Amino acid sequence: MVAMLEEVNQYRIGEKLMSGIQENQGNPVVLKFEGLLRGWLVEEGGSRVDIDYQAIHLTGRVKVWLTRRGERKSVHLPREVSFAMHDIRGSQVDPHRGAWLWSHLWMEASDGVLHQECDWMREPVIGGDPVGDGDAAFELDQFPQDLQWVPEWMAVKAAAYHKEADRRERRRQRDRERRARKKAVVAGAVEVTGEQSGSDASGRVDE
């Protein structure tokens, strides 16, 4: 069964750091993954598996290391196990601090128990690129957090995204107004031309 680990969360409000052991007792999504991972580890003949999982919004990066006969190497999880793992983050959303952004999961074959530690403040590194402004904004929309638990880097990026979005919307509004004015001018010109043509036609005299 998933480890019932003592809560060791660390709170340093000034540095906005929050990390610790995630308690998973009774979470069916995690229990499902634990069973699948245990079966895979036994099949592979491994003694330990470590998973580094970083995610934000709809993007993520997962690295898996399997230790077997004293050798540690990078591997890929089978599809079924991988799909079960990707459901974990959403199942662990906290109403105050949102979804974690980094997690280390590990299992020893000797006990078959899944362990996990998480960080809600760390900026993910995915594909070697920094988190985009849009990803930060969408993360906060998808998993709202209490203001005190929003990492500074996330707040800055989300604000930049919304500022740019507002700028684009103002530009689109100006374009719409400009097109409307141009359309009105053209319509007015057509109307005047029509009136002039009618006047010329009514003033013609046959000889």
pLDDT digits (tens, 9 = 90+) for 22-65: 666 689 999 999 999 999 999 999 999 999 999 999 899 999 99
The mean pLDDT value for 98-109 works out to 97
Measured over the CA atoms of residue 118, residue 123, residue 126 and residue 128, the dihedral's sign is: negative
d(CA 141, CA 30): 24
Per the prediction, the chain carries an average pLDDT of: 83
> Measured between alpha carbons, how far apart are the two ends of the chain, in Å?
109
Element spanning 178, H or E? helix 152-202
The mean pLDDT value for 65-79 works out to 98
**188: pLDDT strictly greater than 50:** yes
pLDDT digits (tens, 9 = 90+) for 128-142: 777 899 999 999 999
pTM across the whole model: 0.72
The mean pLDDT value for 109-117 works out to 96
Element spanning 107, H or E? strand 102-108
Residue 143, pLDDT score: 96
Phi-psi region at 65: left, alpha or beta (left = phi > 0; alpha = psi -120 to 50): beta
